[in-house]
Amino acid sequence: MPSSASAPPRRRLSLRPAEQRVLLVLGDVAASLLAWLAATTLWFSMALPHHTWRTWIEFLTTRPWWFYTLPFLWVLFLVDLHDDSRAFNLYRTAQGLLSVALLALVLYLMTYFVLNVDRRVLPRVSVAAFIAFATLFVFLWRYLYIRMIQRTGRRVLIVGAGRHGRELAASLQNEPTGTPLYLVGFVDDDWTKHGRKFSGLPVLGDASTLLDVAVRYQITDAVVAIVGEIRGELFQALLDLQSSGVEVTHLHAFYEEVYQRVPISHLGANWMLDSFVDEARKSVFYEWAKRGLDILGATLGLALLAVMLPLIALAIWLESGRPILFKQKRVGRHGRLFTVYKFRTMWPRDRMPEPDGTTNRWADDEEVRRVTRVGRILRKSHLDEFPQFWNVLLGHMSVVGPRPEQPKLVEALEKTIPFYRARLLVKPGITGWAQIKYGYAATVQDTERKLEYDLYYIKHRNIPLDLLIILRTLASVLGFRGH
């Protein structure tokens, strides 16, 4: 048991990853509102050099309604910069902000000149000033945010220096988490490990010294990396540690919180039955809301498809002939097969044959060579996916979900990757958590990593997460960042 002389660890201002993300968005909103106020003040000063409080109020009440939405539209434009991999990188943040500012300015000028509306309704200077102020203020906020989080970073102690603990330490050291984490070391009851180092981290003690170690090293988080049964002495020490203000988290929950994916390599054989199936079950109200969102998304998508179809079809036909659409059997929810539709982006095999003629394999140099010039544009802009909105309307797919795969590929991957069939608990989607977080899978290892993101989505899915994925996908489309 911990020594009675041990004082509780000093509480630190240290936000958890989810809390950091909320703070980041709130700061962006505040910076955008401040930019709007600065732009409005500049506009007012230019329009009315001699003013009073009465003229200021009259000015505000006569502005077009859309001008008041600018701060919130700007935050939506920043949705891609809320990803952890960008939020803590000042260079990537600046790069993203400049891209967003340029995109916003181009869209605004297109609207201004194409619509040719009254300048009093669509002023140029005020919007340009808002974009400039918003870019500057958000950048300053992001700089302060990064400095603050780095100074108040979480100090992590891993409880258990076995395989799972060592693998967690290696992952945290070798793979960027976005959020700053400082690994202090391990505690383990196996005395043969005391004084040794794993992944460069020392084993600092056992259960009896857990609170002392937490005090000495100012620990904020203790991650329990023990998958089996926990001894009574260690369990009591963990309760004492949590009572003292240290966050005690199990390996699985910590991994999901930091990486936003499920740690397949750390899961037991009975994980699906023990926890995942129950946690993945959602209420009927969510299912109704999601189906309503799918119908709305499919209707809008098919309306856009109707406008673009003649031009896209003509471009495909002129370069590579027919067929215009590509169709293929894919595996849907609960293993049901359906036919998926996409715009054809590759040369037909009979016009550019491959040596082995296989159809269920990973993309290689030959497959890349088969992509047409029009196909590259369609893939970059994600326009090749638009015919799948018909699948969504029919109920075969959802707007958001794991990507549907070919039957033979699913059969092969089920034998290779643990829990792969769990993807089939929900409808496949046009876009998904794995697509925006990881991108295209070219190997079995890539597919395993994407599965971790898919399982995280299935476990945590809700309407706000679906909307976030849709917004991030729109940002990818506008940024021309397709595969």
Torsion angle, alpha carbons of 364, 369, 375, 381, to 10 = 50
User: Residue 418's closest CA among 311, 313, 270, 284?
Assistant: 270
User: Residue 455's closest CA among 402, 407, 403?
Assistant: 402
Say what the pLDDT of residue 195 is.
Answer: 82
Beta strand segments in 36-145, E: none
Say what the pLDDT of residue 402 is.
Answer: 94
Say what the pLDDT of residue 232 is.
Answer: 82
In whole angstroms, what is the distance from residue 22 CA to residue 19 CA? 5
Q: Which two tokens stand for residue 477?
A: 């489309």
In whole angstroms, what is the distance from residue 330 CA to residue 328 CA? 6
Q: Is residue 323 reached through a cis peptide bond, with omega within 30 degrees of 0 on the bond before it?
A: yes
Measured CA distances, 61 to 55, 58, 64 (Å):
10, 5, 9
Domains in the chain: boundaries: 17-150, 153-259, 284-478
With tokens 């009927």, the residue in question is: 284
Q: Which two tokens stand for residue 380?
A: 């970059």
Q: Which two tokens stand for residue 234?
A: 């260690």
Our separate counts of H helices and E strands in the chain read 20, 10
**194 close to 259: Cβ distance less than 8 angstroms:** no
With tokens 């340009």, the residue in question is: 128
Q: Which two tokens stand for residue 463?
A: 């309407």
User: Residue 389's closest CA among 478, 300, 481?
Assistant: 300
What is the topology classification, in CATH, of domain 153-259?
Rossmann fold (3.40.50)
CA–chain centroid gap for 136, Å, is 25
Q: Which two tokens stand for residue 152?
A: 């108040």
Say what the pLDDT of residue 352 is.
Answer: 60
CB atoms under 10 Å from CB of 58, counted, come to: 12
**203 close to 185: Cβ distance less than 8 angstroms:** yes
Q: Which residues contact 118 (CB under 8 A, 6 or more apart)?
A: none
Q: Which residues contact 440 (CB under 8 A, 6 or more apart)?
A: 363, 446, 483
Say what the pLDDT of residue 458 is.
Answer: 92
Q: 3-class DSSP state for residue 156?
A: strand
Q: For every one of its 483 residues, what pLDDT tens digit does the chain have, with 9 covering 90 and above?
A: 333 334 444 455 577 888 888 999 999 999 999 999 998 888 777 766 666 777 777 777 777 777 888 899 899 889 888 888 788 888 889 998 998 898 888 877 777 666 555 555 556 678 888 999 999 999 999 999 988 888 877 889 999 888 889 989 988 888 766 677 889 999 998 888 888 899 889 999 888 889 999 999 989 899 999 877 788 888 899 999 988 888 899 988 898 888 898 888 777 767 766 667 767 778 889 999 999 999 999 999 999 999 999 999 999 998 888 889 989 999 999 999 999 999 998 887 665 645 544 445 454 555 667 788 888 888 888 889 999 999 999 999 999 999 999 999 999 998 888 888 888 999 999 999 998 888 777 788 888 889 999 999 999 999 999 999 999 888 877 664 555
154-159/201-202 β-pairing: unpaired
In whole angstroms, what is the distance from residue 235 CA to residue 343 CA? 57
**418 close to 444: Cβ distance less than 8 angstroms:** no
Give the single-character DSSP code of 352: S
Say what the pLDDT of residue 444 is.
Answer: 83
Q: What is the DSSP string of 51-69?
A: --HHHHHHHHHTS-GGGGG
**169 close to 156: Cβ distance less than 8 angstroms:** no
Measured CA distances, 376 to 26, 311, 382, 403 (Å):
38, 16, 10, 20
Q: 3-class DSSP state for residue 24?
A: helix
Beta strand segments in 291-369, E: 325-331, 337-343
Q: Which two tokens stand for residue 398?
A: 């959802």
- Whole-structure pTM value: 0.82
Give the single-character DSSP code of 272: I
Q: Which two tokens stand for residue 226?
A: 């023990």
Q: Alpha helices of 387-443 — where are they, by DSSP H?
A: 388-394, 407-416, 433-437
Q: Alpha helices of 324-372 — where are they, by DSSP H?
A: 365-370
Q: Which two tokens stand for residue 408?
A: 């033979």
